[in-house]
């Protein structure tokens, strides 16, 4: 059932929410040999299959919302994701006592909210067609479960079904594999659920070291590789094959850095991550990009604090935040990794948003993405506070300035005012 039909048949209701928008940018890098020097092939024990035969299902209900009304609620939109076909955007909206999951067709004036009840429903991930969404859900009766929302069958499937906390889910493009982090063994591990015909088949403990902690797993769109951060005596970033328990490579390792928020291209060829130096009082952050085919590893940062990378489907375009809490704002930059050229948006992201009270409680459970680059690398989905309420925009930084909708009280009846996505900063 297309999203438009879901919107037409969904129960209508009034709702108000917070801020929204979309945008773009770019940068340079220099090759270093850290990757080729540090890559290791590690022999590990086969991953452990976990007995979990019960995956409860229940009916999925949705609520239709005019997209432009979302901007009038308290709270913060975050964790934006865009489907592989560039047509559907899913995001999380957080308030003090709850968090909800929304999705909308790109460019649409309507959105739907998954009717999930009270609790914190977070960290959505979406497949290629936008028909399957996975997310974490914490309620009064659950520390955290991983749910699959099947929009074709209008069903919710509990993929984790365990009393301990499960979070950080990621789904492949075919909707056949879901990876997530779990604390069920009193430590942080990674689990894989394999799906066939939308029914979970088996749950696998993807971790290979009982003494290490694992975070931030992301599965490639083709479902062949998973990237994650690993913590033990030294910190490191790894990529692992889903079908080969011994197919594992270390991308970078160091005792003086933290590694977080790794992102993998949908084709599984390029990986970006944030590296944070422990000793510096400013906790300076840098972005790295690795090509797992050639073995190249690039630092793409310009010297300022850089974080929250987002990568296109083939790794050709990379976007990230760059700025400082001291300066008080972050800019989004986008690099064409072939030409190594930078494009910059004329809209800044206030640093206070990244430290908002609705977000700070999560700690390692979330990296709070307020934007994502589209799989084709031609636009970004972004949510951004604005003096008139919010901005929601769609743009193409590689061909022409993008367009955006701005909404304030005078424009509610006709929320189609078009403005340049770039402002005066071309």
Check residue 33 and give its pLDDT: 37
Identify whether 326 is part of a domain. yes
pTM higher than 0.85, yes or no? no
135 SS3 class = strand
Domain range for residue 213? 3-420
Rg of the chain, C-alpha, whole Å: 20
304 within a domain of the structure (yes/no): yes
What own/partner pairs with CB < 8 Å and gap ≥ 24 does 72-75 have? Answer: 72/16, 72/17, 72/389, 73/15, 73/16, 73/17, 73/18, 74/17, 74/18, 75/17, 75/18, 75/358
Answer yes or no: is 334 within a domain: yes
403-410: average pLDDT: 36
Residue located via tokens 């430290």 = 355
The residue among 411, 423, 420, 353 whose CA lies nearest residue 393 is: 420
Instruction: Answer yes or no: is 426 within a domain.
Output: no
Q: What does the pLDDT read at residue 246? A: 80
Nearest to 144 by CA among 119, 179, 118: 119
Q: Which tokens belong to 300? A: 């793409």
* 425 assigned to some structural domain: no
Per the prediction, the chain carries an average pLDDT of: 76
**Confidence at 347, pLDDT banded by 50, 70, 90:** low
CATH of the domain at 220: 2.120.10.30
Per residue in 114-135, pLDDT tens?
999 999 999 999 999 999 999 9
**How many C-beta atoms lie closer than 10 Å to residue 248's C-beta?**
17
How large is the average pLDDT for residues 180-209?
A: 87
**DSSP letter, residue 47:** P
Burial class (CB in 10 A: 0-12, 13-18, 19+), 216: buried
Region 21-35: what's the mean pLDDT? 34
Instruction: Kindly report, residue by residue over 253-309, the tens digit of the pLDDT.
Output: 988 888 989 999 999 999 999 998 887 655 688 999 999 888 888 888 766 788 899
- Number of separate domains in the chain: 1
Question: Is 306 among the domain residues?
Answer: yes
The angle at the Cα of 330, spanning 329 to 336, to the nearest 5 degrees, equals 155
pLDDT in tens, 40-96: 444 556 677 877 667 899 999 999 887 766 655 667 778 889 999 988 989 888 887
Confidence of residue 19 (pLDDT cuts 50, 70, 90): very low
How far is it, in rounded angstroms, from Cα 218 to Cα 372? 14
DSSP state for residue 45 in the 8-state scheme: P
The answer to the question of residue 25 being in a domain is yes
- Taking 80 as the threshold, does the pLDDT of residue 389 lie above it? no
Quick check: 30 pLDDT over 50? no
The whole-number average pLDDT for the span 222-236 is 92
**Residue 139 falls within a domain, yes or no?**
yes
pLDDT tens figures, 317-341: 998 888 865 666 788 888 888 777 7
Q: What are phi and psi of 391, to 5 degrees?
A: -125, 135
* CA 332 centroid distance within chain: 16
Round to whole Å and give the CA distance between 154 and 150.
5
Q: And the tokens for 265? A: 């291209």
Q: Angle at the Cα of 390 (from 385 to 391), degrees rounded to 5?
A: 105
Q: What is the pLDDT of residue 44?
A: 55
Residue 388: pLDDT band by 50, 70, 90 thresholds? very low
226 phi and psi angles, rounded to 5 deg: -130, 135
Token pair in block for residue 284: 């300076």
Whether 37 shows a pLDDT value over 70: the answer reads no
């Amino acid at each position: 059932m297309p999203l438009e039909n879901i919107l037409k048949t969904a129960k209508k209701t009034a709702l108000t929410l917070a801020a929204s928008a979309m945008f773009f940018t770019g940068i340079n890098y220099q090759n270093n040999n850290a990757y080729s020097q540090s890559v290791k092939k590690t022999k590990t024990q086969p991953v452990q299959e976990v007995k979990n035969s019960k995956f409860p299902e229940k009916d999925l209900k949705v609520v239709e919302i005019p997209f432009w009304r979302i901007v009038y609620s308290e709270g913060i939109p975050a964790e934006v994701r865009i489907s592989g076909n560039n047509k559907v955007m899913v995001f999380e909206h957080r308030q003090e006592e709850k968090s909800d999951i929304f999705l909308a067709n790109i460019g649409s004036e309507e959105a739907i909210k998954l009717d999930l009840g009270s609790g914190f429903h977070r960290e959505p991930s979406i497949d290629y067609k936008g028909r399957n969404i996975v997310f974490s859900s914490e309620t009064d009766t659950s520390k955290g479960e991983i749910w699959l929302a099947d929009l074709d069958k209008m069903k919710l499937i509990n993929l984790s079904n365990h009393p301990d906390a499960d979070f950080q889910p990621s789904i492949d493009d075919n909707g056949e594999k879901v990876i997530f982090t779990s604390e069920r063994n009193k430590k942080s591990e990674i689990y894989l659920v394999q799906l066939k015909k939308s029914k979970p088949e088996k749950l696998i403990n993807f971790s290979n070291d009982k003494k290490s902690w694992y975070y931030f797993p992301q599965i490639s769109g083709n479902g062949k590789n998973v990237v994650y951060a690993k913590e033990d005596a030294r910190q490191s970033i790894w990529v692992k094959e889903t079908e080969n328990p011994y197919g594992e490579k270390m991308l970078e390792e160091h005792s003086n850095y933290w590694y977080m928020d790794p992102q993998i291209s949908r084709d599984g060829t390029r990986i970006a991550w944030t590296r944070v130096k422990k000793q510096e009082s400013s906790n300076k952050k840098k972005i790295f990009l690795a090509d797992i085919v050639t073995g190249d590893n690039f630092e793409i940062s310009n010297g300022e604090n850089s974080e929250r990378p987002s990568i296109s489907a083939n790794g050709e375009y990379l976007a990230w935040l760059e700025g400082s809490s001291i300066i008080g704002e972050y800019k989004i930059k986008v690099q064409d990794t072939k030409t190594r050229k930078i494009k910059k948006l004329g809209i800044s992201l206030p640093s206070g948003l990244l430290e908002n009270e609705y977000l700070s409680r999560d700690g390692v459970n979330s990296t709070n993405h307020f934007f994502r680059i589209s799989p084709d690398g031609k636009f970004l989905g972004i949510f951004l506070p604005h003096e008139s309420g919010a901005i929601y925009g769609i743009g193409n930084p590689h061909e022409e300035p993008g367009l955006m909708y701005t909404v304030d009280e005078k424009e509610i009846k006709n929320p189609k005012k078009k403005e340049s996505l770039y402002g005066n900063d071309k």
